[in-house]
Amino acid sequence: MNTAEETQILDAIARWLERDVRPKARELEKKDEYPESMVETMKELGLFGATIPQEYGGLGLPASTYAKIVAQISEVWMSLTGIFNSHLIMAAAVSRYGTEEQKKKFLPKFASGEVRGGLALTEPDCGTDLQAIRTRAVRDGKDYVVNGTKTWISNGIKGSCFALLVKTDPNAKPRHQGMSMFLAEKGKGFRVSKKLEKLGYKGIDSAELIFEDYRLPAGNLIGGVEGKGFHHAIGGLELGRINVAARGVGVANAALKDSVAYSQVRKTFGKPICEHQAIQLKLGEMATRCEAARLLVESAARAYDAGERCDMEAGMAKYFASEAALENSIEAVRIHGGYGYSTEFNVERYYRDAPLMCIGEGTNEMQRIIIAKQLIARNPA
Protein backbone atom coordinates (compact mmCIF):
# COMPACT_ATOMS: atom_id res chain seq x y z
CA MET A 1 0.00 0.00 0.00
CA ASN A 2 1.38 3.42 -0.93
CA THR A 3 1.40 6.46 1.32
CA ALA A 4 -1.42 8.23 -0.57
CA GLU A 5 -3.79 5.27 -0.16
CA GLU A 6 -2.98 4.96 3.53
CA THR A 7 -3.52 8.69 4.05
CA GLN A 8 -6.89 8.50 2.30
CA ILE A 9 -8.06 5.69 4.58
CA LEU A 10 -6.81 7.40 7.75
CA ASP A 11 -8.43 10.70 6.72
CA ALA A 12 -11.80 9.03 6.12
CA ILE A 13 -11.65 7.40 9.55
CA ALA A 14 -10.59 10.69 11.17
CA ARG A 15 -13.63 12.48 9.69
CA TRP A 16 -15.95 9.75 10.96
CA LEU A 17 -14.41 9.86 14.44
CA GLU A 18 -14.86 13.61 14.76
CA ARG A 19 -18.35 13.63 13.23
CA ASP A 20 -19.98 10.58 14.80
CA VAL A 21 -17.85 9.06 17.55
CA ARG A 22 -16.35 11.80 19.68
CA PRO A 23 -19.71 13.54 20.38
CA LYS A 24 -21.37 10.26 21.47
CA ALA A 25 -18.60 8.12 22.99
CA ARG A 26 -18.91 9.35 26.57
CA GLU A 27 -22.69 8.82 26.72
CA LEU A 28 -22.53 5.34 25.15
CA GLU A 29 -19.63 4.37 27.40
CA LYS A 30 -21.49 5.52 30.48
CA LYS A 31 -24.56 3.46 29.52
CA ASP A 32 -22.39 0.51 28.42
CA GLU A 33 -24.47 0.55 25.24
CA TYR A 34 -23.47 -1.31 22.08
CA PRO A 35 -22.79 1.28 19.33
CA GLU A 36 -25.06 -0.14 16.62
CA SER A 37 -24.87 2.84 14.25
CA MET A 38 -21.08 3.04 14.58
CA VAL A 39 -20.82 -0.65 13.74
CA GLU A 40 -22.80 -0.03 10.55
CA THR A 41 -20.36 2.73 9.58
CA MET A 42 -17.43 0.45 10.37
CA LYS A 43 -18.92 -2.02 7.90
CA GLU A 44 -19.08 0.71 5.25
CA LEU A 45 -15.48 1.73 5.95
CA GLY A 46 -14.40 -1.89 5.46
CA LEU A 47 -12.96 -2.27 8.95
CA PHE A 48 -14.33 -5.80 9.40
CA GLY A 49 -12.27 -6.80 6.39
CA ALA A 50 -9.27 -4.58 7.10
CA THR A 51 -6.64 -7.34 7.05
CA ILE A 52 -8.60 -9.92 5.01
CA PRO A 53 -7.05 -10.44 1.52
CA GLN A 54 -8.67 -8.50 -1.30
CA GLU A 55 -9.43 -11.68 -3.24
CA TYR A 56 -11.92 -12.58 -0.50
CA GLY A 57 -13.51 -9.15 -0.31
CA GLY A 58 -11.30 -7.50 2.30
CA LEU A 59 -9.11 -4.40 2.16
CA GLY A 60 -5.94 -6.47 2.44
CA LEU A 61 -4.24 -3.85 4.61
CA PRO A 62 -0.76 -4.52 5.99
CA ALA A 63 -0.43 -4.72 9.76
CA SER A 64 1.48 -1.42 9.72
CA THR A 65 -1.54 0.45 8.33
CA TYR A 66 -3.96 -1.52 10.48
CA ALA A 67 -2.01 -0.57 13.62
CA LYS A 68 -2.29 3.13 12.72
CA ILE A 69 -6.05 2.76 12.30
CA VAL A 70 -6.36 1.08 15.71
CA ALA A 71 -4.27 3.76 17.42
CA GLN A 72 -6.31 6.50 15.74
CA ILE A 73 -9.65 5.06 16.84
CA SER A 74 -8.36 4.27 20.34
CA GLU A 75 -7.54 7.93 20.87
CA VAL A 76 -11.26 8.67 20.65
CA TRP A 77 -12.91 5.49 21.98
CA MET A 78 -10.85 2.35 22.49
CA SER A 79 -13.85 0.02 22.80
CA LEU A 80 -14.63 0.29 19.09
CA THR A 81 -11.35 -1.40 18.18
CA GLY A 82 -12.33 -4.50 20.15
CA ILE A 83 -15.40 -4.99 17.98
CA PHE A 84 -13.33 -5.58 14.86
CA ASN A 85 -10.02 -6.78 16.33
CA SER A 86 -11.21 -10.07 17.80
CA HIS A 87 -13.21 -10.56 14.60
CA LEU A 88 -10.09 -10.07 12.47
CA ILE A 89 -8.04 -12.53 14.55
CA MET A 90 -10.72 -15.11 13.78
CA ALA A 91 -10.49 -14.16 10.10
CA ALA A 92 -6.69 -14.36 10.19
CA ALA A 93 -6.90 -17.94 11.47
CA VAL A 94 -8.97 -18.84 8.42
CA SER A 95 -6.88 -16.79 6.01
CA ARG A 96 -3.56 -18.22 7.22
CA TYR A 97 -4.51 -21.80 8.07
CA GLY A 98 -7.93 -22.58 6.61
CA THR A 99 -8.75 -24.76 3.62
CA GLU A 100 -9.63 -23.05 0.35
CA GLU A 101 -13.23 -24.13 0.83
CA GLN A 102 -13.31 -22.49 4.28
CA LYS A 103 -11.79 -19.29 2.91
CA LYS A 104 -14.37 -19.01 0.12
CA LYS A 105 -17.26 -19.78 2.46
CA PHE A 106 -16.39 -17.57 5.42
CA LEU A 107 -13.97 -14.78 4.50
CA PRO A 108 -16.29 -12.74 2.20
CA LYS A 109 -18.98 -12.73 4.91
CA PHE A 110 -16.41 -11.77 7.54
CA ALA A 111 -15.07 -8.97 5.32
CA SER A 112 -18.48 -7.39 4.75
CA GLY A 113 -19.43 -7.63 8.42
CA GLU A 114 -22.45 -9.76 7.52
CA VAL A 115 -21.01 -12.39 9.85
CA ARG A 116 -19.14 -10.99 12.83
CA GLY A 117 -17.55 -12.71 15.78
CA GLY A 118 -14.30 -13.28 17.55
CA LEU A 119 -11.90 -15.58 19.29
CA ALA A 120 -13.08 -18.08 21.92
CA LEU A 121 -9.99 -19.18 23.84
CA THR A 122 -10.30 -18.20 27.52
CA GLU A 123 -12.09 -20.40 30.05
CA PRO A 124 -13.08 -19.85 33.70
CA ASP A 125 -9.95 -21.69 34.92
CA CYS A 126 -7.71 -20.94 31.95
CA GLY A 127 -6.35 -17.69 30.57
CA THR A 128 -2.73 -17.28 29.58
CA ASP A 129 -2.07 -21.03 29.90
CA LEU A 130 -4.07 -22.05 26.83
CA GLN A 131 -2.96 -25.65 27.04
CA ALA A 132 -5.08 -26.00 30.20
CA ILE A 133 -8.40 -25.59 28.39
CA ARG A 134 -11.09 -28.18 29.15
CA THR A 135 -13.68 -27.60 26.42
CA ARG A 136 -13.87 -30.90 24.57
CA ALA A 137 -14.82 -31.83 21.00
CA VAL A 138 -15.52 -35.52 20.32
CA ARG A 139 -15.87 -36.88 16.78
CA ASP A 140 -19.28 -38.37 16.02
CA GLY A 141 -19.67 -39.37 12.38
CA LYS A 142 -19.52 -36.26 10.19
CA ASP A 143 -19.74 -33.98 13.22
CA TYR A 144 -17.94 -33.11 16.43
CA VAL A 145 -19.86 -32.79 19.69
CA VAL A 146 -18.63 -29.95 21.88
CA ASN A 147 -19.08 -29.45 25.62
CA GLY A 148 -17.51 -26.75 27.74
CA THR A 149 -17.48 -23.08 28.74
CA LYS A 150 -15.64 -20.04 27.39
CA THR A 151 -15.48 -16.72 29.19
CA TRP A 152 -14.46 -13.09 28.57
CA ILE A 153 -15.30 -13.56 24.90
CA SER A 154 -15.43 -10.26 23.01
CA ASN A 155 -18.50 -9.92 20.73
CA GLY A 156 -19.98 -12.91 22.55
CA ILE A 157 -23.52 -11.49 22.44
CA LYS A 158 -23.59 -9.58 19.15
CA GLY A 159 -21.28 -11.95 17.27
CA SER A 160 -22.54 -15.03 15.44
CA CYS A 161 -19.35 -17.01 14.67
CA PHE A 162 -16.25 -17.74 16.74
CA ALA A 163 -12.85 -19.35 16.32
CA LEU A 164 -13.28 -21.94 19.05
CA LEU A 165 -10.27 -23.62 20.67
CA VAL A 166 -11.00 -27.10 22.03
CA LYS A 167 -9.35 -30.34 23.13
CA THR A 168 -9.80 -33.12 20.58
CA ASP A 169 -7.28 -35.39 22.34
CA PRO A 170 -7.03 -34.64 26.09
CA ASN A 171 -4.40 -37.34 26.55
CA ALA A 172 -1.94 -35.99 23.97
CA LYS A 173 1.67 -35.39 25.04
CA PRO A 174 2.74 -32.63 24.76
CA ARG A 175 -0.65 -31.12 25.56
CA HIS A 176 -0.75 -28.67 22.66
CA GLN A 177 -0.87 -31.53 20.14
CA GLY A 178 -4.33 -32.44 21.40
CA MET A 179 -5.84 -29.01 20.62
CA SER A 180 -7.89 -28.04 17.58
CA MET A 181 -9.67 -24.90 16.39
CA PHE A 182 -13.10 -24.75 14.78
CA LEU A 183 -15.34 -22.11 13.28
CA ALA A 184 -18.37 -22.31 15.56
CA GLU A 185 -21.57 -20.63 14.43
CA LYS A 186 -24.32 -20.01 16.95
CA GLY A 187 -27.02 -22.66 16.97
CA LYS A 188 -28.59 -25.41 19.05
CA GLY A 189 -26.38 -26.29 22.01
CA PHE A 190 -24.44 -22.98 21.81
CA ARG A 191 -25.79 -20.28 24.12
CA VAL A 192 -24.70 -17.07 25.79
CA SER A 193 -24.76 -17.53 29.56
CA LYS A 194 -24.35 -13.91 30.63
CA LYS A 195 -22.89 -10.53 29.83
CA LEU A 196 -19.85 -9.79 31.97
CA GLU A 197 -19.67 -6.40 33.65
CA LYS A 198 -16.32 -4.61 33.44
CA LEU A 199 -14.39 -1.74 35.02
CA GLY A 200 -13.81 -0.17 31.62
CA TYR A 201 -13.89 -1.23 27.96
CA LYS A 202 -17.60 -0.45 27.93
CA GLY A 203 -19.87 -0.64 24.91
CA ILE A 204 -18.37 -3.84 23.55
CA ASP A 205 -20.01 -7.00 24.84
CA SER A 206 -17.88 -9.48 26.77
CA ALA A 207 -19.70 -12.70 27.52
CA GLU A 208 -19.60 -16.24 28.83
CA LEU A 209 -20.43 -18.90 26.23
CA ILE A 210 -21.81 -22.34 27.07
CA PHE A 211 -21.57 -25.40 24.81
CA GLU A 212 -23.85 -28.32 25.69
CA ASP A 213 -23.80 -31.21 23.19
CA TYR A 214 -23.23 -28.62 20.48
CA ARG A 215 -22.72 -30.27 17.09
CA LEU A 216 -20.14 -28.88 14.68
CA PRO A 217 -19.62 -30.11 11.11
CA ALA A 218 -16.19 -31.67 10.60
CA GLY A 219 -15.79 -29.23 7.70
CA ASN A 220 -15.51 -26.40 10.24
CA LEU A 221 -12.21 -27.74 11.62
CA ILE A 222 -9.78 -25.01 10.56
CA GLY A 223 -7.26 -26.50 8.17
CA GLY A 224 -9.07 -29.83 8.22
CA VAL A 225 -6.50 -31.50 10.50
CA GLU A 226 -6.74 -32.09 14.25
CA GLY A 227 -3.96 -31.08 16.62
CA LYS A 228 -3.11 -27.71 15.04
CA GLY A 229 -5.31 -25.48 17.20
CA PHE A 230 -2.62 -24.23 19.56
CA HIS A 231 -0.48 -23.18 16.59
CA HIS A 232 -3.47 -21.39 15.02
CA ALA A 233 -4.22 -19.57 18.28
CA ILE A 234 -0.64 -18.43 18.86
CA GLY A 235 -0.34 -17.25 15.25
CA GLY A 236 -3.46 -15.15 15.65
CA LEU A 237 -2.25 -13.67 18.90
CA GLU A 238 0.70 -12.04 17.12
CA LEU A 239 -1.76 -9.79 15.27
CA GLY A 240 -3.82 -9.47 18.45
CA ARG A 241 -0.84 -8.25 20.44
CA ILE A 242 0.05 -5.71 17.77
CA ASN A 243 -3.55 -4.52 17.99
CA VAL A 244 -3.45 -4.23 21.79
CA ALA A 245 -0.14 -2.38 21.53
CA ALA A 246 -1.67 0.03 19.01
CA ARG A 247 -4.57 0.58 21.40
CA GLY A 248 -1.99 1.42 24.05
CA VAL A 249 -0.46 4.01 21.74
CA GLY A 250 -3.89 5.54 21.16
CA VAL A 251 -4.83 5.75 24.83
CA ALA A 252 -1.37 7.02 25.81
CA ASN A 253 -1.63 9.72 23.14
CA ALA A 254 -5.12 10.71 24.24
CA ALA A 255 -3.97 11.07 27.85
CA LEU A 256 -1.03 13.18 26.72
CA LYS A 257 -3.05 15.47 24.44
CA ASP A 258 -5.72 16.07 27.05
CA SER A 259 -3.04 16.81 29.63
CA VAL A 260 -1.15 19.23 27.39
CA ALA A 261 -4.36 21.11 26.61
CA TYR A 262 -5.58 21.23 30.21
CA SER A 263 -2.21 22.29 31.59
CA GLN A 264 -2.33 25.44 29.45
CA VAL A 265 -5.72 26.62 30.72
CA ARG A 266 -5.55 25.56 34.36
CA LYS A 267 -3.75 28.13 36.50
CA THR A 268 -2.21 27.92 39.96
CA PHE A 269 -0.09 30.49 41.79
CA GLY A 270 -0.73 33.02 39.05
CA LYS A 271 0.37 31.03 35.99
CA PRO A 272 -0.68 28.05 33.83
CA ILE A 273 0.36 24.77 35.42
CA CYS A 274 2.31 23.88 32.27
CA GLU A 275 4.86 26.41 33.45
CA HIS A 276 5.44 24.52 36.69
CA GLN A 277 8.43 22.21 36.52
CA ALA A 278 6.58 19.35 38.24
CA ILE A 279 4.01 19.28 35.40
CA GLN A 280 6.69 19.67 32.74
CA LEU A 281 8.47 16.58 34.07
CA LYS A 282 5.25 14.59 33.75
CA LEU A 283 4.51 15.82 30.23
CA GLY A 284 8.06 15.10 29.10
CA GLU A 285 7.87 11.51 30.32
CA MET A 286 4.40 11.01 28.83
CA ALA A 287 5.47 12.27 25.40
CA THR A 288 8.55 10.04 25.39
CA ARG A 289 6.46 6.98 26.28
CA CYS A 290 4.08 7.74 23.40
CA GLU A 291 6.87 7.98 20.84
CA ALA A 292 8.71 4.89 22.08
CA ALA A 293 5.48 2.87 22.08
CA ARG A 294 4.64 3.99 18.55
CA LEU A 295 8.05 2.96 17.25
CA LEU A 296 7.83 -0.47 18.90
CA VAL A 297 4.43 -1.05 17.30
CA GLU A 298 5.81 -0.06 13.89
CA SER A 299 8.70 -2.51 14.33
CA ALA A 300 6.38 -5.39 15.25
CA ALA A 301 4.00 -4.60 12.37
CA ARG A 302 6.86 -4.53 9.85
CA ALA A 303 8.03 -7.95 11.02
CA TYR A 304 4.50 -9.33 10.79
CA ASP A 305 4.05 -7.92 7.28
CA ALA A 306 7.36 -9.48 6.22
CA GLY A 307 6.09 -12.88 7.33
CA GLU A 308 8.77 -13.16 9.98
CA ARG A 309 8.32 -14.74 13.37
CA CYS A 310 7.49 -11.75 15.54
CA ASP A 311 6.38 -13.01 18.94
CA MET A 312 9.29 -11.13 20.55
CA GLU A 313 8.61 -7.90 18.66
CA ALA A 314 4.86 -8.13 19.25
CA GLY A 315 5.50 -8.95 22.91
CA MET A 316 7.79 -5.95 23.33
CA ALA A 317 5.28 -3.64 21.68
CA LYS A 318 2.34 -4.97 23.66
CA TYR A 319 4.20 -4.88 26.97
CA PHE A 320 5.65 -1.39 26.61
CA ALA A 321 2.68 0.31 24.91
CA SER A 322 0.13 -1.05 27.38
CA GLU A 323 2.25 0.04 30.34
CA ALA A 324 2.70 3.44 28.65
CA ALA A 325 -1.08 3.78 28.40
CA LEU A 326 -1.52 2.86 32.06
CA GLU A 327 1.21 5.21 33.28
CA ASN A 328 0.05 8.09 31.07
CA SER A 329 -3.55 7.66 32.19
CA ILE A 330 -2.50 7.87 35.84
CA GLU A 331 -0.42 10.97 35.18
CA ALA A 332 -3.32 12.53 33.25
CA VAL A 333 -5.60 12.08 36.28
CA ARG A 334 -2.97 13.71 38.50
CA ILE A 335 -2.44 16.62 36.12
CA HIS A 336 -6.20 17.23 35.95
CA GLY A 337 -6.44 17.09 39.75
CA GLY A 338 -10.03 16.85 40.99
CA TYR A 339 -11.36 17.06 37.44
CA GLY A 340 -9.35 13.95 36.57
CA TYR A 341 -11.61 12.04 38.94
CA SER A 342 -14.75 13.46 37.34
CA THR A 343 -16.78 11.70 34.66
CA GLU A 344 -17.11 15.09 32.93
CA PHE A 345 -13.59 14.60 31.57
CA ASN A 346 -12.31 11.70 29.46
CA VAL A 347 -9.17 11.01 31.48
CA GLU A 348 -11.03 8.88 34.03
CA ARG A 349 -12.09 6.63 31.12
CA TYR A 350 -8.48 6.24 29.97
CA TYR A 351 -7.64 5.29 33.56
CA ARG A 352 -10.31 2.54 33.51
CA ASP A 353 -9.57 1.30 29.99
CA ALA A 354 -5.78 1.08 30.22
CA PRO A 355 -5.42 -1.84 32.71
CA LEU A 356 -7.19 -4.19 30.29
CA MET A 357 -4.32 -3.93 27.84
CA CYS A 358 -1.82 -5.08 30.46
CA ILE A 359 -3.88 -8.26 30.87
CA GLY A 360 -5.50 -9.04 27.51
CA GLU A 361 -3.84 -11.11 24.74
CA GLY A 362 -1.41 -12.55 27.30
CA THR A 363 -0.40 -10.79 30.51
CA ASN A 364 2.58 -8.45 30.53
CA GLU A 365 4.32 -10.84 32.90
CA MET A 366 4.06 -13.50 30.19
CA GLN A 367 5.24 -11.05 27.52
CA ARG A 368 8.48 -10.50 29.40
CA ILE A 369 9.06 -14.25 29.60
CA ILE A 370 8.39 -14.61 25.85
CA ILE A 371 10.81 -11.77 25.12
CA ALA A 372 13.53 -13.34 27.27
CA LYS A 373 13.11 -16.80 25.76
CA GLN A 374 13.26 -15.48 22.22
CA LEU A 375 16.24 -13.29 23.09
CA ILE A 376 18.15 -16.36 24.27
CA ALA A 377 17.00 -18.50 21.33
CA ARG A 378 18.10 -15.88 18.80
CA ASN A 379 21.45 -15.30 20.49
CA PRO A 380 22.93 -18.69 21.41
CA ALA A 381 26.23 -18.57 23.33
Catalytic residues: 361
Q: Is 120 helix (H, G, I), strand (E, B) or coil?
A: strand
Element (H or E) spanning 119, and its range? Answer: strand 117-120
Residues 6+ apart with CB under 8 A from 244: 318, 321, 322, 357, 360, 361
- Cβ of 115: how many Cβ atoms within 10 Å? 20
For residue 215, give the nearest of 155, 147, 149, 159 by alpha carbon.
147
Report the amino acid identity of residue 194.
K
Compute the distance between CA of residue 181 and CA of residue 120 in angstroms, rounded to an integer. Answer: 9
DSSP state of 221: B
How would you classify the pairing of strands 117-120 and 161-167?
parallel
Phi-psi region of 212 (alpha: psi -120 to 50; beta: other; left: phi over 0): beta
Three-state secondary structure of 222-284: HHHCCCCHHHHHHHHHHHHHHHHHHHHHHHHHHHHHHHHHHHHHCEECCEEHHHCHHHHHHHH
